[in-house]
Amino acid sequence: MIRAVGGRVLRFVLTLFATSVLVFAFMRILPGDPAEVVLGTGATEEALERTRAEFGLDRPLAEQYWDWVSGIPVGDFGVSFITGEDISPVVLDRLAVSLILVVSAMALALLVAVPLGTWAAVRHRRADGIAISAATQFGIAVPNFLAGMLLVAVFALGLGWLPANSWMPPAYDPVQFVLHLILPVVALAAVQAAVMTRYVRTAMLDVMGEDWMRTARAKGLSTFQALRRHGLRNAALPVLTVSGIQLTTLVIGAVVIEQVFVIPGIGSELLTAVAGRDLLTVQSVVMLLALITLTVNFTVDLLYLVLDPRTAVQR
């Protein structure tokens, strides 16, 4: 068990290292001189040199990399080339907004997907089970930003029940905070729920084919009872893994949804930085988002060891 945990920790650290090198390298390999981006194409060579020296861009790449990466654990992403301000405070504020969005959407998606997927699996030969499968097939074909726009068109512009966009800090007005959150969260969760329902259904179908499920049925349990007592726990394992991976989709989904609903989250920050060619901010935000998704997947990996001790012995 200790060996298994140690191996996973080691792998996680290596992955983080590799990711940081890749993100750093990607931003530097691509054509484009940060100093020229700051000053514009008409800048003289001396001015460029001065700017490079100011931001430390004339130092060796390894040194620049170390400078950047060693700040990350203590939450220091450096100073933006464009705005000249510290990147961290802004980014972390924005991140909090996005996390509220992503976590609520994931919770809502699971809340819908688990019962719906189970239902679809139990009744997989009946009309209602097939109808659920068909609905999810349509659901995964709709981009979340389209879902968001349609929700706005109907519930905000059409019926006028909910605000169409913008964000309300919870400390400012809790009721308005929730009202503003509903449409973006539902838009994110709807598509996610369709994806997750399909995975839950598959996991449940696999579980239902197991011998011990037949035994449970033979003992006199109904299908639903057997699933509740024995099936759910076993089906939870693959669903947990998928939830971890799906989080990356949700993070990206949030970046797009924030544009639809004009929410000041990390995605808006990223796109503003992209538009302003604020390379260090882009690099830092991307690294931060990668850090979050990799950490969640690492946690899922560890949870797996607890939930399914068999995995500790394999490999």
Partner 1 sequence: MSGTNAAAAGGPAGPDRPPARGVGLLRMLPVTGKIGLVVVAGIVVVALVSLVWTPYDPLQAVPEDRLSGSTLQHPLGTDRYGRDVLSILMAGAQITLLVGCVAVAIAAVVGTPLGILAGMRRGWAEELITRGADMMLAFPALLLAIMAGAVMGASTWSAMIAIGLAAGPGFARVARAGTLRVMSSDFILAARGASQPETRIARRHVLPNIFDLVVIQASVTFALAILAEAALSFLGLGTPPPEPSWGRMLQGGQDYLAVAPHLTVWPGLAIALAVLGFNLLGDGLRDVLDPKTRGRR
Residues that bind partner 1 (CB under 8 A): 11, 14-15, 18-19, 23, 26-27, 30-32, 137-138, 140-143, 145-146, 149-150, 152-153, 157, 244-245, 248-249, 251-252, 255-256, 259-260, 270-271, 273-274, 277, 279, 282-283, 286, 289-290, 293-294, 297
Which ranges of the chain would DSSP assign to H, the alpha helix? 2-29, 34-39, 45-54, 61-71, 87-122, 127-139, 144-151, 174-208, 211-218, 223-226, 232-261, 266-275, 279-307, 310-313
Residue nearer to partner 1 on the CB measure, 140 or 178: 140
Residue nearer to partner 1 on the CB measure, 223 or 272: 272
Residue nearer to partner 1 on the CB measure, 145 or 167: 145
Instruction: State the nearest-atom distance from the C-beta of 286 to partner 1, in Å.
Output: 5
Amino acid identity at 242 = V
Instruction: State the nearest-atom distance from the C-beta of 170 to partner 1, in Å.
Output: 26
Instruction: State the nearest-atom distance from the C-beta of 145 to partner 1, in Å.
Output: 6
How many Cα atoms within 13 Å fall on the side-chain side of residue 172?
Answer: 8
3-class SS of residue 86: strand
The answer to whether residues 260 and 163 touch, using CB atoms and an 8 Å cutoff, is no
Instruction: State the nearest-atom distance from the C-beta of 172 to partner 1, in Å.
Output: 26
Residues forming beta bridges with residue 86, ordered by sequence position? 79
Cα separation, 198 vs 116, whole angstroms? 9
Cα separation, 194 vs 137, whole angstroms? 7
Residue nearer to partner 1 on the CB measure, 71 or 139: 139
Instruction: State the nearest-atom distance from the C-beta of 289 to partner 1, in Å.
Output: 6
Task: Find all residues with CB under 8 Å of 186, minimum gap 6, and list them.
Answer: 108, 151
Residue nearer to partner 1 on the CB measure, 161 or 169: 161
Q: Is 303 left (phi over 0), alpha (psi -120 to 50) or beta?
A: alpha
Residue nearer to partner 1 on the CB measure, 111 or 262: 262
Instruction: State the nearest-atom distance from the C-beta of 215 to partner 1, in Å.
Output: 22
Task: Find all residues with CB under 8 Å of 85, minimum gap 6, and list them.
Answer: 79
Instruction: State the nearest-atom distance from the C-beta of 144 to partner 1, in Å.
Output: 8
Residue nearer to partner 1 on the CB measure, 111 or 153: 153
